[in-house]
């Protein structure tokens, strides 16, 4: 501990609202603790990796993420493929769920029959954001906020997004009456 009698308390010149300040040295115990933390840095950096045990923090983090994914796959937004989305169209239960999701959340903007209203026609071949099953899934999941299409992955469960994508795919080619004119490029080669 610093001995008070070894030095005079030195008052600094300035004064703010009657508050004045000493310019005393930091206590020695404080300084030594500070130097010790600096010395600890290289040890802390080098010991776990590459000299010490284990694979290092990054590898440990990645391993625990992989373990968590394996333990609860349903918690992690699954990546879907074109084939899986097309296959879902053959599943009546999924289509029924997709229809229910669509009627509750999408019909107001895209019309119950998909013919388009505020949002574009979903029954034609023309797509602003791409017409492959995964592209349509992506548009539904992340939305187009600037144009008023909400990001549905925040509001629906991943299975519901998949189901409503399958339902939208099933609407393509249904030719509802009074559709909104096509928007966006149609596929170069006919489907
Ligand atoms: C508040 C209105 C609104 C709601 C609700 C809405 N959409 Fe949209 N949607 C839009 C608008 C507007 C666009 C056009 C975005 C653009 O011009 O880039 C769009 C675009 C899309 C597209 C892309 C069309 C293309 O040509 O690429 C799909 C697919 C789609 N919506 C599906 C859905 C589904 C499925 C739901 C319900 C889960 C839904 N939308 C709900 C307004 C809406």
Domains of the chain, by residue range, sit at: 4-71, 82-171
8 Å CB contact between 121 and 181: yes
Least confident of 14-18, 149-153, 163-167: 14-18
What is the distance in A from the centroid of ligand 1 to the CA of 159?
18
Please tell me the pTM assigned to this model. 0.67
- pLDDT value, residue 44: 81
Say which CATH topology domain 82-171 has.
Answer: Cytochrome Bc1 Complex; Chain D, domain 2 (1.10.760)
* 148 Cβ inside 6 Å of ligand 1: yes
Closest residue by Cα to residue 165 from 84, 74, 111: 84
- pLDDT band of 98, cuts 50, 70, 90: very high
Element (H, E) at 19: strand 19-22
- pLDDT band of 99, cuts 50, 70, 90: very high
* 160 Cβ inside 6 Å of ligand 1: no
* 141 Cβ inside 6 Å of ligand 1: no
Q: At what angle do helices 158-171 and 92-105 cross, to 10 degrees?
A: 90
């Amino acid at each position: 501990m610093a001995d008070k009698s070894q030095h005079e308390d030195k008052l600094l010149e300035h004064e703010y609202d009657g508050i004045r300040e000493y310019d005393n040295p930091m206590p020695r115990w404080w300084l030594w603790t500070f130097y010790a933390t600096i010395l600890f840095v290289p040890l802390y950096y080098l010991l776990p990796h590459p000299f010490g045990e284990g694979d290092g923090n990054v590898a440990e983090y990645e391993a625990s993420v992989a373990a968590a994914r394996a333990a609860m796959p349903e918690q992690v937004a699954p990546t879907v493929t074109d084939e899986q989305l097309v296959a879902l169209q053959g599943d009546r239960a999924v289509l029924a769920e997709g229809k229910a999701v669509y009627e509750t959340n999408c019909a107001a903007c895209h019309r119950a029959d998909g013919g388009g209203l505020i949002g574009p026609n979903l029954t034609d071949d023309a797509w602003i954001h791409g017409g492959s099953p995964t592209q349509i899934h992506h548009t539904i999941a992340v939305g187009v906020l600037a144009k008023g299409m909400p990001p549905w992955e925040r509001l629906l469960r991943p299975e519901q997004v998949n189901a409503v994508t399958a339902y939208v795919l099933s609407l393509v080619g249904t030719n509802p009456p009074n559709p909104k004119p096509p928007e966006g490029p149609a596929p170069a080669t006919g489907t």
